[in-house]
Amino acid sequence: MARLIGGIGSSHIPAIGNAIEKNAQSEPYWKPFFDGYKPVWKWLEKKKPDVAILVYNDHGLNFFLDKMPTFAMGAAPEYQNADEGWGLKPIDPIPGHPKMSWHLIDALVEDEFDLTICQEMLVDHGFTVPVSLMWPEPELRKHIKVIPLCVNVVQSPFPTARRCLKLGKAIGRAVASYEENLDVVILGTGGLSHQLDGARAGFINRDFDLEFLDKLKDEPEWLLQYSNYELAELTGTQGVEMIMWLIMRGALGKNVTEISRNYHIPISNTAAGVILFEKDA
């Protein structure tokens, strides 16, 4: 049977990809950020998961405002990316796991989650930056297969935090019912607090971010008290991306151990965080 062995919450800012490409990880601006990923790299090297479910949001490369599904899951043999205008050099195609994708899709639809199913799917920096962050060297990515789950946090109405937590729990059940013997990690990406435009451009709410990280392990329901409109007020218009971390957390179930955590501000006018959970046996 497949096993969810852990989950990672991570930022996916495009500037991170530029820093990786320029080998700027040791520069004073970037070092506190990348140092926070050292325990994650060590854990991934030790555990060597077979499959990563990557929860992210598309920024106009595959979906645009005229067609914006609430939840879309990839079922392709590989996922390609393209130049989005951020100066990011496209990375090599990332292999998928169509068989497991279809199992997850079938199980989630049976669980009354209506997914958009993508047998071809372009992926943008929301996907490629976490892949490059978790497996910095292309050689490290050869063993991992990735299943993308795209969530609409771009155009209202967004799914609620409650819906995302429920989806995560359904993903956890679906992974556990997959018959092949695989180790699976789930990544919830985006956020934390940030606003990229308007009168509050550059807004960051450090206190809210830190409380969110404090609550995520044992009280993920803490975020459910806020509507998405309230989250936009508290964390900035793009800070609502943190609801995708709830999908990761919901998938892991109750018994998890926090292995590491880092919070750093600002990275490209954004509060950047990473947290690593290991699922208890």
Active site residue 194: yes
Helices (H), 63-124: 98-110
Going by C-beta distance under 8 Å and a sequence separation of 6 or more, which residues neighbour residue 230? none
Active site residue 143: no
Classify 264 in phi/psi space as left (phi over 0), alpha (psi -120 to 50) or beta.
beta
Helices (H), the chain: 14-21, 31-35, 38-47, 98-110, 125-134, 161-176, 206-216, 228-235, 243-252
Going by C-beta distance under 8 Å and a sequence separation of 6 or more, which residues neighbour residue 201? 195, 269
Distance of CA 86 to the CA centre of its chain: 19
Among 12, 97, 125, 264, the one annotated catalytic: 125
Among 97, 103, 194, 264, the one annotated catalytic: 194
Going by C-beta distance under 8 Å and a sequence separation of 6 or more, which residues neighbour residue 23? none
Q: Using an 8 Å Cβ cutoff, are 167 and 251 in contact? A: no
Determine the Cα–Cα distance for residues 250 and 266; give it in Å rounded to an integer: 28
Going by C-beta distance under 8 Å and a sequence separation of 6 or more, which residues neighbour residue 2? 51, 100, 175, 176, 178, 179, 180, 181, 182, 183, 184
Q: Give the active site residues.
A: 125, 194
